[in-house]
Amino acid sequence: MEITKAVFPVAGLGTRFLPATKASPKEMLTVVDKPLIQYAVEEAIAAGVKDLIFVTSVHKRAIEDHFDKNFELEYNLEQKQKRELLEVVRNILPKGVNCAYVRQREALGLGHAVLCAKPLVGNEPFAVLLADDLISNPTGDGALSQMVAQYYYQKCGVIAVQNVPKKDTGSYGIVKTRQDESIEAIVEKPKPEKAPSTKAVVGRYILTPEIFTHLENIPTGAGGEIQLTDAIARLIKTQRLIAYPFEGVRYDCGDKLGFLMANFELAKQDPILGEKFIQRVKASMEKDKNR
């Protein structure tokens, strides 16, 4: 079955970015000139996704507005003959791609957020993308496209992983894999001494609908939340799921430093701004050295 649906859990409070996130969603924080959520949406669309399912909460209207048509703005740009900008605005969502929104009424965890999407996903395999994890792969396919290819080839669920320093295992879901990359065990945020490996889950998943049954039945886990990781731990008892070390650089934009680095690196790569940006940064560093 094709992967045409993607779930974007965007209900989080974004407290790490206060005060920026007091009145606007963290998923709308910009990296260079696009909000974080748009990077994830573009990656999903490039991978063949047609139905975008956002799991939202209060104060997330800006996300809905961002992916909606803005007649006033388009009229204004048209009148002023700003064709390029008009195209930018119109292409945020290509034709044939639909958005649906469902509310997560209580902050009960990532697993619970994914479960809220069940009525919209139905009985088919689907992707989950966490916008906090911005994955850039300028010279190749996006991370989700690579995973979809694996899904077709291996005919099973796929979870993106990357190696992290042992001291950081407590920030991630950690997997133990067999030789064929199938997942043997998965634990949410284990302390380094308890971690089964240093292979960390990055926020991209291709899951089969059986995950919902497990999400409905698991007790609360790490942090008192319903964890997607715990449901996956049950799923792998009956289904093969592989861990996939994608190609690309992942920026942890749920963290201030990671977010700044994403801006820095993507600004350097920007076809219009890049050169000038590098020159300015170099000049600024020189100035600091000579102080």
Binding segment for ligand G1P (CB under 6 A), chosen from 51-59, 141-149, 227-235, 279-287, is 227-235
Q: Which is nearer to ligand G1P, 21 or 229 (CB)?
A: 229
What is the size of the binding site for ligand G1P (CB under 6 A)?
15
Report the nearest approach of ligand G1P to the CB of residue 185 (Å). Answer: 13
Reduce the DSSP state of residue 218 to 3 states and report it.
coil
Strand, helix or coil at 44? helix
Of 27, 43, 188, 230, which one interacts with ligand G1P (CB under 6 A)?
A: 188
Which stretches within the chain are classed as H helix? Answer: 36-46, 61-66, 71-79, 83-90, 110-116, 118-121, 143-154, 211-217, 228-235, 256-269, 274-289
Taking residue 141's Cβ as centre, other Cβ atoms within 10 Å add up to 17
Helix axes 83-90, 71-79, angle to 10 degrees: 160
The DSSP bridge pattern shows strands 199-207 and 173-177 to be antiparallel
Asked if 181 interacts with ligand G1P (CB under 6 A), we say no
Q: In the complex, what is the shortest distance from the CB of residue 111 to ligand G1P, in angstroms, rounded to a whole number?
A: 8
14 binds ligand G1P (CB under 6 A): no
Contacts of 92-100 with C-beta under 8 Å, sequence gap 24+, read 92/38, 92/66, 92/67, 93/41, 93/67, 94/45, 96/50, 97/45, 97/49, 97/50, 97/51, 97/52, 98/50, 98/51, 98/52, 99/52, 99/54, 99/64, 99/67, 99/68, 100/51, 100/52, 100/53, 100/54
Question: In this complex, which beta carbon is closest to ligand G1P, that of residue 11 or of residue 121?
Answer: 11
Minimum distance from residue 82 beta carbon to ligand G1P (Å)? 37
Closest to ligand G1P by CB, 102 vs 135, is 135
Least distance from ligand G1P to the Cβ atom of residue 170, Å: 10
Stretch that binds ligand G1P, among 21-29, 33-41, 50-58, 196-204 (CB under 6 A): 196-204
Both tokens of 120, joined, read 């919209």
Q: Which two tokens stand for residue 65?
A: 């507005």
Contacts to ligand G1P from residues 230-289, by CB under 6 A: 254
The 114-153 site mask, x for binding ligand G1P (CB under 6 A), equals ----------------x-xx--------------------
Please, what sign has the CA dihedral across residues 189, 129, 244, 124? positive
Q: Is 110 in the site for ligand G1P (CB under 6 A)?
A: yes
Which C-beta is closer to ligand G1P: that of 27 or that of 132? 132
Three-state DSSP class for residue 69: coil
Q: Is 187 one of the binding residues for ligand G1P (CB under 6 A)?
A: no
User: Judged by CB under 6 A, which of 29, 183, 202, 235 binds ligand G1P?
Assistant: 202
Q: Compare residues 68 and 247 and give the one whose CB is closer to ligand G1P.
A: 247
Q: Tell me which residues touch ligand G1P (CB under 6 A).
A: 110, 130, 132-133, 172-173, 188, 200-203, 227-229, 254
